[in-house]
A and B are shown apart, each in its own frame.
Chain A
C-alpha cells in the first residue's frame, strides 16, 4: 500500500459545528503532516507529527486541533470555523529519515464552511 487516504473527500459544515478530518497511511511512515491549500494558492504547512508527537505547529488557530492516535492515523478536529477556513486540506506522510523529500500526499478533503 503506497497511498495516503483522506476522508471525507468533501465536507460542508456550519460555523458552530464540530467535525473531524481523517488521514490514514500504511507505509510505515513515522512523520505525518497537515497542509491547507486555498484556491489558486500553494499548500501551506499547518502541523507536523513525528513519531506520534507534535513537532511543528505553524501558529495555527486553536479552532484547528490535530491528533495522532497511532502511527498510521492523523486527525484534524475542527470547531467554530470561519468561512475563510474553507479550503482543500491535504495530509501527507514520509519516512522520518527522509522528511520532506519523501512526502506522499493524499488527495485532500475539500472543506466548505457556511
Chain B
C-alpha cells in the first residue's frame, strides 16, 4: 500500500520569502507523484507532477518540486511567495502499474502574510 506524509499542517511565511512544503511517501512499488493546490471553497488544481525523467519539475507559477528516490521525498519549493499563494497544498501519489486511485497526504496550509 502507498501512503503520503505531510508533516507540516500549516506553514506561515511572509510575502516574498522562500518556502518549502515537505512531502514524504511510502510505497513498495514505483509511483507517480503530484502536488495539488486548493484555494478556499474551490476544487483541486494540479500544480505539478513527476512521472519520469528529470527529477526537478516546475510549474508555470514559480513552484518547483524535486523527486528524491533515496529519501522518498517530493518537497515543494518556491523562492518568493505572494499573498495569492495562500491555499491548502496536497501531495499525492498513485501506483505506476495502472491505478486510478490517487492517495493524498493530509495537506499543508500555506499562509502568506504581508
Check B101 against A48 for contact (C-beta < 8 Å). yes
For chain B, what secondary structure do more than half of its interface residues adopt (helix, strand, loop), or is it mixed?
Answer: loop
Complex: chain A residue closest to B36, CB-CB: A105
Q: Which of B13-21, B45-53, B67-75 contacts A (4 or more CB under 8 A)?
A: B45-53
Q: A56-B100, A100-B102, A106-B43 are in contact. List 13 more A-B contacts (CB 8 A).
A: A42-B105, A43-B90, A43-B102, A48-B100, A56-B101, A90-B44, A99-B100, A100-B32, A100-B94, A101-B49, A101-B51, A101-B94, A105-B36
B positions within 8 Å CB-CB of A:
32, 34, 36, 41-46, 49, 51, 90, 94, 98-102, 104-107
A12 to chain B, nearest CB (A): 16
Question: Mind listing 14 A-B residue pairs with CB under 8 Å?
Answer: A40-B107, A41-B106, A41-B107, A43-B90, A43-B102, A45-B101, A99-B100, A100-B94, A101-B49, A101-B51, A105-B44, A105-B45, A107-B42, A110-B41
Total CB contacts across the A-B interface at under 8 A: 55
**Residue on B with the closest CB to A50?**
B100
Question: Is A108 an interface residue when CB atoms closer than 8 A count as contact?
Answer: yes
Min Cβ gap A92→B in Å is 8
The size bracket of the interface on A is: 20 to 34
Q: Give the secondary structure class of A's interface.
A: strand
Binding site for B on A (CB under 8 A): 4, 6, 31, 33, 40-43, 45, 48, 50, 55-56, 90, 94, 99-101, 103-108, 110
